[in-house]
Amino acid sequence: MVSAKKVLLAAPRGYCAGVDRAVVTVEKSLELYGSPVYVRKQIVHNKYVVSALEDRGAIFVDELEEVPEGSIVVFSAHGVAPAVHDEAEERGLRTIDATCPLVTKVHAEARRFASEGYRIVLVGHEGHEEVVGTMGEAPEVMTLVEDPADAAQVNLSADDKLVWLSQTTLSVDETLSTVDVLQERFPNMISPPSDDICYATQNRQAAVKEIAPQCDVVVVVGSGNSSNSVRLVEVALEAGARASYRVDFAEELDDAWFEDAETIGVTSGASVPEILVDDVLAWLRLRDFKTVEEVHTAEETLIFALPPELRRDIKAAAK
């Protein structure tokens, strides 16, 4: 009897252009300048990636005061507030900014709307590094709203010029439901000129929505501090999966999760290297989930250039 067990493998999944750029920035910095290269915060939210870069000589720190004066420091893909740039300059640090260009766009929008007299409502999760960096662009005119319940209670003046911006890695549905509540309460609030939810976040969520209704269980590979990975679990459940679990590594999988399951969905967050997905597929293969069907919902061709300060030094070293 042929086994009915199969895996639906979501595509796209894994590394987005901003994550790839950030990881390569640290790798190239280590090659060019030698170890140590300091990195403020996790370059991307993934345990495996951070550990691999540490093995190559990167030193991750929480704050710049931990970095010796005159050292090279890379800013993570999530972006930093202007005050961090100022502190780095004061301490004589050589900075390489690996902020994702899509996050940089939101920072630019925050500065522009603030200069035009708007009060900015930022939809995002308190404490997330991207949110901290974005709010640092205009803290005096920015209000953080986390969810629809928060939006229903936030104290804003209807007389203010209002605009909303968002953290790039949120669930699309989550953001829009929050914005709907805000716009019902504040009809004069305008939207940003372009969608701030990152293309990769949207594509990965769309792929999960496609496979989840057919799946008994959806496995999301990604770290617990990765906002977009955590959202993928929620999206899978909302889209009809019977169960969904997030793991960093294949060894975290539990046989009990897959009892009586015939179709397993597999995807990964935007900061996850493909080797971790391969390990999950190998684990499932040993349990008779040998048929893998890749379900494509979008093609991604976007590539971001390395930070200009790094490109300059690579070019100079090649002469």
pLDDT digits (tens, 9 = 90+) for 59-116: 999 999 999 999 999 999 999 999 999 999 999 999 999 999 999 999 999 999 999 9
pLDDT digits (tens, 9 = 90+) for 100-153: 999 999 999 999 999 999 999 999 999 999 999 999 999 999 999 999 999 999
Nearest-Å Rg of the Cα atoms of the chain is 21
* pTM, full prediction: 0.94
Q: What pLDDT was estimated at residue 173?
A: 85
Looking at the predicted structure, is the pLDDT value of residue 1 above 60?
no
CA 300 to chain centre: 16
Q: b/e for 89-127, b at 16 or more Cβ within 10 A? A: eeeebbbbbbbbebbebbbebbeebbeeebbbbbbbbee
Per-residue pLDDT band at 2 (split at 50, 70, 90): low
Looking at the predicted structure, is the pLDDT value of residue 298 above 70?
yes
pLDDT digits (tens, 9 = 90+) for 154-176: 999 988 999 999 999 888 888 99
Given a contact cutoff of 8 angstroms between Cβ atoms, the answer to whether 222 and 248 are in contact is yes
Q: What is the mean pLDDT of the chain?
A: 96
| Separation between Cα atoms, residue 180 and residue 196, nearest integer Å | 16
Looking at the predicted structure, is the pLDDT value of residue 300 above 70?
yes
pLDDT digits (tens, 9 = 90+) for 241-259: 999 999 999 999 999 999 9
Q: What pLDDT was estimated at residue 278?
A: 98
| Separation between Cα atoms, residue 209 and residue 241, nearest integer Å | 9
Given a contact cutoff of 8 angstroms between Cβ atoms, the answer to whether 108 and 133 are in contact is no
Per-residue pLDDT band at 35 (split at 50, 70, 90): very high
Element (H, E) at 282: helix 274-285
Q: What pLDDT was estimated at residue 4?
A: 86
* Active-site position among 109, 129, 130, 137: 130
pLDDT digits (tens, 9 = 90+) for 187-216: 999 999 877 889 999 999 999 999 999 999
Annotation marks residue 130 as catalytic: yes
